[in-house]
Structure 1
Amino acid sequence: MHAIRLHAFGPAENLTYERTEDPVPGPGQVRIAVEAAGVHLLDTTLREGHSGPFPAPAELPTIPGREVAGTVESLGEGADPGLLGRRVVAHLGTVPGGYAELAVTHADKLHEIPGELGAAEAVAMIGTGRTALGILSFTDLGPGSVAVVTAAAGGIGTLLVQYAKNAGATVIALAGGPAKVARAKENGADLALDYTLPDWPDHARAFLDATGPRATVVYDSVGGTTARSAVDLLGKGGQHVIYGWSGGGLHEGRPLTFTPEELAERAITSGSVLGPRLVQRGGGLRVLETRALAEAAAGRLRPAVQRYPLAEAAAAHRALETRGTIGKVVLEP
């Protein structure tokens, strides 16, 4: 098979497209003919040798990637014969191997792709979708809510905007550059602003002054000055929900934090929802994955996908690192 392999930690150029041996499914495992493989910002961090929610690879070379969709084409000992030929999607967990034409995983990680959902869209929902629903479980959106979404044209941000609008909330979307602002508007945002422009907070405050209530929740994956300006839009009782801080790079950036005194003075709450809290609050990974796929299959959530050929994984990584992507990045063999 062909795969992307990393022989040495470092820049995106270290990702090489090459021929390697086909993986062999072990007991209880299946082998998937991959149609789409997800790329995550975390992958760029692991590529450089930094740990995150997952540890950096202990041995090289390695095949990156933890989200795949395709067709089951081979079974390991003990795997259900009924899985053969099924269109499935899986998050591989701590064991990578997704950037390839073939990938192996345990059968209990599989979800059958529902309805006519495409492989790339299924990949987006198995990782990004489950995270978005986990984040949303910390808030209670409704017709009286006013949500501010940073990085609103990203994979998670796209879904947060759509979900909030479906719930009847007013949405202020923040995105970097005209193309991303336009995409956020297409997703239903009531106001979409370019947060790279210095006057965006003025436009947001003018909008809130005209419509009435202050913001009730800020979904923040950027941190830094953008997050601080967004939090300034919150009214009393508002929530600052942190799920990333990409403003300085995944392993270099810092989340926006407040002292207890500042929170008391503002009468708001602020905190990260990443890690075990997100999984527990959402009912577990399996539940979140199943819900995410169902929402996409029903058309209630429409993941944005940016596709790259498998051989161009390095270009996909560079685009992610420079915020040059819209939505979920997917590699297609």
Structure 2
Amino acid sequence: MRAIRLNEFGPAENLRYEEVATPEPGPGEVRIAVAAAGVHLLDVMLRAGEGMGPFPKPELPATLGREVAGTVDAVGVGVDPVLVGRRVVAHLGNRAGGYAEFAIIDDQALLMLPDGLPAEIAVSMVGTGRTALAILEVAGITADDIVLIPAAAGGLGTLLVQAARRVGAVVVGAAGGAAKVEAVRASGADLAVDYTVADWADRVREELAGRSVTVVLESVGGDIGRDALELLGRGGRLVTFGWSSGTAIPDLAEAAADAGVTVENPLGPRMMNRPGGIKALAEAALAAAAANELRPATTTFALPDAAAAHTALATRKTMGKVVLVP
């Protein structure tokens, strides 16, 4: 089969489209003919040789990619052969291997694809969608809230904008550049602003006309994250789940205490140990997409162009979830 291989840590160009042995499913495993594979910022870090939290640097050579959708192609011993030919989606976890024509996964990790749901949508929801639902569980957004979402044109941000609007909240979406701002507006945000403009926070204050932001769903960090925190009124909630800028919000604990706001992180142990587990979140995310309640935006690249996908994602030139397709 053909797969994207990383033989040496470093720049995106180190991702090579190569011929490798087709994997065989072992006991309790299935092989998926991959129709779509998700690309994540975590993959960019791992490619560069940077581990993150529970995700250590992979052993080389490696095939990255933790989210796949496709069709069961073969099954191992102990797996019901009726699965062959079924459309499925799965999160591969630390096993990875999604950037390939075929991927192996434990049969217990499989989720059946709802009828009519495209593979690229499903692969967006099995990882990014379940994370969005975990964030929303913690945020507890209601129709009384004014919600600010930096990075609102990204894979997570697009879903969070849609979800906050569905419950009736006022939604302020921030993104970088005119095209992304327009995409945020199209996702349903009441106000869309360009956070690369120096006075973006002042514009938000002006548009809100004396009202304060009550919830921030923050994943950018750095100065943008700090500006977002300062838009919160006293008693507001900062839900933080990353820093795509490369740095955390400066002096977060002190700044939050001074502002009189609470800070919560919905990911890590909290997400992994939630009642019902994370597989239930993925099932709920797929169901929401099938019902057209949440619809992820995607930017697709052909599998051989994985290096270009990494470059575009790292330089913030993508919108929505980045997906590789055959």
- Scaled by the length of structure 2, the TM-score of the pair is 0.97
**Corresponding position: 1:258 with 2:252:** yes
Structure 1 match to 2:315: 322
Structure 2 match to 1:118: 118
| Larger deviation, residues 231-240 vs 293-302 | 231-240
| Larger deviation, residues 146-155 vs 46-55 | 46-55
Superposed CA RMSD: 1.2
**Corresponding position: 1:290 with 2:288:** no
Shift of 1:48: 1.2
Task: Indicate if the aligned counterparts of 2:148 and 2:213 stay in contact, CA closer than 8 A.
Answer: yes
Task: Indicate if the aligned counterparts of 2:223 and 2:249 stay in contact, CA closer than 8 A.
Answer: no
Structure 1 match to 2:56: 55
Structure 1 match to 2:16: 16
Task: Indicate if the aligned counterparts of 1:137 and 1:282 stay in contact, CA closer than 8 A.
Answer: no
Structure 1 match to 2:147: 147
1-side partners of 2:114 and 2:139: how far apart? 27
| Larger deviation, residues 165-174 vs 265-274 | 265-274
Shift of 1:280: 2.8
**Corresponding position: 1:310 with 2:308:** no
Task: Indicate if the aligned counterparts of 2:219 and 2:241 stay in contact, CA closer than 8 A.
Answer: yes
2-side partners of 1:256 and 1:168: how far apart? 32
Task: Indicate if the aligned counterparts of 1:282 and 1:288 stay in contact, CA closer than 8 A.
Answer: no
Overall identity of the aligned pairs, in %: 54
Question: 2:227 is aligned with what amino acid?
Answer: S
Question: 1:310 is aligned with what amino acid?
Answer: L
Structure 1 pair 282–150 and aligned structure 2 pair: CA distance change class (3 A): farther
Q: Which runs of 5+ in 1 are unaligned?
A: none
Question: 1:115 is aligned with what amino acid?
Answer: D
Shift of 1:263: 3.4
Task: Indicate if the aligned counterparts of 1:308 and 1:331 stay in contact, CA closer than 8 A.
Answer: yes
Task: Indicate if the aligned counterparts of 1:134 and 1:279 stay in contact, CA closer than 8 A.
Answer: no
Structure 2 match to 1:276: 269
Task: Indicate if the aligned counterparts of 1:133 and 1:282 stay in contact, CA closer than 8 A.
Answer: no
Task: Indicate if the aligned counterparts of 2:147 and 2:169 stay in contact, CA closer than 8 A.
Answer: yes
2-side partners of 1:18 and 1:185: how far apart? 40
Cα distance per residue 1:14-58 (max 9 Å; x no partner): 000011110000001001110000100000111111111311112
Matching of residues 103-182 of structure 1 within 5 Å: 103-182=103-182
2-side partners of 1:3 and 1:214: how far apart? 49
Task: Indicate if the aligned counterparts of 1:242 and 1:255 stay in contact, CA closer than 8 A.
Answer: no
Cα distance per residue 1:71-110 (max 9 Å; x no partner): 0010111111121110000000110110001111110000
1-side partners of 2:252 and 2:18: how far apart? 48
2-side partners of 1:127 and 1:219: how far apart? 18
Structure 1 match to 2:325: 332
**Matched length:** 325
Shift of 1:196: 0.2
- Please state whether the residue corresponding to 1:27 is helix, strand or coil: coil
Structure 2 match to 1:227: 225
Task: Indicate if the aligned counterparts of 2:229 and 2:256 stay in contact, CA closer than 8 A.
Answer: no
Shift of 1:255: 3.8
- Please state whether the residue corresponding to 1:293 is helix, strand or coil: helix
2-side partners of 1:224 and 1:197: how far apart? 15
Structure 2 match to 1:243: 241
Structure 1 pair 12–282 and aligned structure 2 pair: CA distance change class (3 A): farther
Task: Indicate if the aligned counterparts of 2:230 and 2:259 stay in contact, CA closer than 8 A.
Answer: no
Task: Indicate if the aligned counterparts of 1:163 and 1:301 stay in contact, CA closer than 8 A.
Answer: yes
Task: Indicate if the aligned counterparts of 1:31 and 1:103 stay in contact, CA closer than 8 A.
Answer: yes
- Please state whether the residue corresponding to 2:127 is helix, strand or coil: helix
Shift of 1:256: 4.4
Structure 1 match to 2:85: 85
- Scaled by the length of structure 1, the TM-score of the pair is 0.95
2-side partners of 1:38 and 1:241: how far apart? 24
Task: Indicate if the aligned counterparts of 2:212 and 2:231 stay in contact, CA closer than 8 A.
Answer: yes
1-side partners of 2:166 and 2:275: how far apart? 19
- Please state whether the residue corresponding to 1:148 is helix, strand or coil: strand
2-side partners of 1:281 and 1:195: how far apart? 33
Task: Indicate if the aligned counterparts of 1:125 and 1:289 stay in contact, CA closer than 8 A.
Answer: yes
